[in-house]
Amino acid sequence: MASVTLPDGSKREYEGPVTVAQVAASIGAGLAKAALAGRVDGKLVDLSHVIDGDAAVAIITARDPEGLEIIRHSTAHLMAQAVKELFPEAQVTIGPAIENGFYYDFSYTRAFTPEDLKAIEARMDELVKKNIPIVREEMPREEAIDFFKALGEHYKAEIISSIPAGEVISLYRQGDFVDLCRGPHVPSTGCLKVHHLMKVAGAYWRGDSKNEMLQRIYGTAWATKDEQKAYLEMLAEAEKRDHRRLGRELDLFHLQDEAPGMVFWHAKGWALWQVIEQFMRRVYQDNGYEEVKAPQLLDRSLWERSGHWAKYRDNMFTTESENRYYALKPMNCPGHIQIFNSKLRSYRDLPLRIGEFGQCHRNESSGSLHGLMRVRGFTQDDGHIFCTEDQILAECEAFTALVQKVYKTFGFTDIAYKVATRPAMRIGEDAVWDKAEHALMASLDALGIKYEVLVGEGAFYGPKIEYHLKDCLGRSWQCGTVQVDFQMPGRLGAEYVAEDNSRKIPVMLHRAILGSLERWIGMLIEEFAGAFPVWLAPIQCAVTSITDNQGAYAKDVAAKLHAAGLRVQTDLRSEKINYKIRELSLQKLPYILVVGEKEAQTGTVSVRARGGENLGVMSLDAFIERISTENRERTR
């Protein structure tokens, strides 16, 4: 007798053992056709899974997030089957589902080509049409190792050898192709109609650079063709907005091999940087922060006491001088504690808010570097709040409100809040972690903010709130953060005089609003496709003359714009005006001012807005008022 409880609370009774597929069929033919897998007592299982007692059961379809993940994982197997049929000597390794798709790593004697990808995708389509059943099998460990060795799949044999004793070894068979996997999978290849192979990249076996370089084929898979079309169109738009390409085209910055992961900022890019930094500096001043500057290089002993040396050593750049070992700071917090420690503090001084545009260096692997988004040298709008336990909640609430205000100024209002809790590798007692995690969650609860809990993803010294933004393409970016730290101040000797004249250790809140300024600027470039609003634009307007005769007037207009606090450039070349306007338009400037003989005589300017809109002729004062208002109000 099997009793099944469905998600709506209804129950179904079966006289004997029943599969998940049979449960779906008993509910309705439509559900049976749409079913991909099931959830039994909270565990995802195949449709063939047998229920032989009381259980809570849900049928998983492509409409469920788990269903889409199962489609993608199954499509990774489909791709591996196609590769093995076309390239029998290729060895399969690992092929998981990832966000928006999947990948599979292969060991093969030559590089896969774009033509190979087309052939693989065509073979995948053939396998889909055959609607091959996908069947789960279990096999004893040693038998499974011998099985894959006999197939020449030595990577699979190695994976099985590393699986802890006692765990079930499950295989999935589809036709002649057999793969090691926990599952679950869709019932047949016919469920995998919508897929597309994207690219090939290199990947070390098990992520270790000492191991063989494998070939990773990336693909995407969706429940419907419309969803895949929308995704591919989004990727095409994202390619147009790629900050690395726009950085070159708009003369903002560049990167080169002689300084991997470091940015060469050009004049226009640095102008954009300065606008953002000065804006954030004002945010500091208006919200009670003291701006400071700590050294780049600190003695190893300080990093040992802070805990970074033991937990973070591999990501730190080090050097030696006069038999002393130093490290470039990967973060600003130990330096700020030294500033706190520079004199005796009282409870009356708390909360003490310290901010710095602190340059940090982290030894990221070369394979992870990506334009401005992942660099080795970066600057954070970093700050630390030293406070008492009683002040944590109010400070966290105030900080979240400040984050919302700043993001709104840049045009972002879609914020996702995530609380990252204690990791396995951490310092401090669980009771202290309980306090810290409770404080963060309580601060969001007090503001009525819904949040997701990221179990185990906090820093080694404390939990944190992460602030994730969605851009115009729906992509998510993790930017700001606030962390509650009961550990590091005590490790580095920070203390204050309490009301009862005792010495107490302050709580330290690590916080950043934008995060890495490099990453923030990269995100802004892609959000605006390089067409920045007036207040952010490196060059806010250009003045160009129709003929050489208006050169003096054009210079006079530019000087008045500059005197009004605007960023302006001139184009006085002896070129045709249409050619100059076209070239200036490619720079995505908010405004182009054209001056000819008529404008010079009347003291006016002919104004063109970005996108080719002709605003007509207006007085220079009227234009200055218009652009200054946009600049002052920071309109998007």
Q: Tell me which of 49, 181, 243, 333 is the catalytic residue.
A: 333
Q: In whole angstroms, give the CA distance from residue 379 to residue 265.
A: 13
Is 49 known to sit in a ligand binding site? Answer: no
**Hunting for tokens 């600027």 — which residue is that?**
521
Stretch (H or E) spanning 297: strand 297-299
Q: In whole angstroms, give the CA distance from residue 508 to residue 514.
A: 19
Q: Tell me which of 174, 380, 487, 540 is the catalytic residue.
A: 380
Query: Closest Cα to residue 162, out of 148, 176, 151?
Result: 148
333 labelled catalytic: yes
Query: Closest Cα to residue 269, out of 522, 609, 632?
Result: 522
380 labelled catalytic: yes
Query: Closest Cα to residue 336, out of 350, 313, 352?
Result: 352
268 labelled catalytic: no
Q: Tell me which of 382, 483, 487, 587 is the catalytic residue.
A: 382
Is 396 known to sit in a ligand binding site? Answer: no
* Cα-based distances in Å from 92 to 101, 131, 179, 205, 236: 18, 22, 9, 11, 30
Q: In whole angstroms, give the CA distance from residue 133 to residue 125.
A: 15
Q: Tell me which of 49, 308, 336, 384 is the catalytic residue.
A: 384
228 labelled catalytic: no
384 labelled catalytic: yes
As a 3-state breakdown, the chain gives helix, strand, coil percent values, each rounded to 5, of 40, 30, 30
Q: Measured on CA atoms in the order 372, 373, 377, 380, is the torsion positive or negative?
A: positive
The one-letter amino acid code at 565 reads G
Q: Tell me which of 196, 241, 362, 580 is the catalytic residue.
A: 362
Angle at 307 between CA 303 and CA 310, to 5 degrees: 90
- Burial status of residue 226 (CB atoms within 10 A of its CB: 0-12, 13-18, 19 or more): exposed
Q: Tell me which of 464, 491, 519, 567 is the catalytic residue.
A: 464
Q: Tell me which of 185, 510, 511, 580 is the catalytic residue.
A: 510
Is 384 known to sit in a ligand binding site? Answer: yes
Stretch (H or E) spanning 513: strand 507-516
Which residues does the annotation place in the binding site for Zn(2+)?
333, 384, 510
Which residues does the annotation place in the binding site?
333, 384, 510
Q: Which positions are annotated as active-site residues?
A: 333, 362, 380, 382, 384, 464, 510
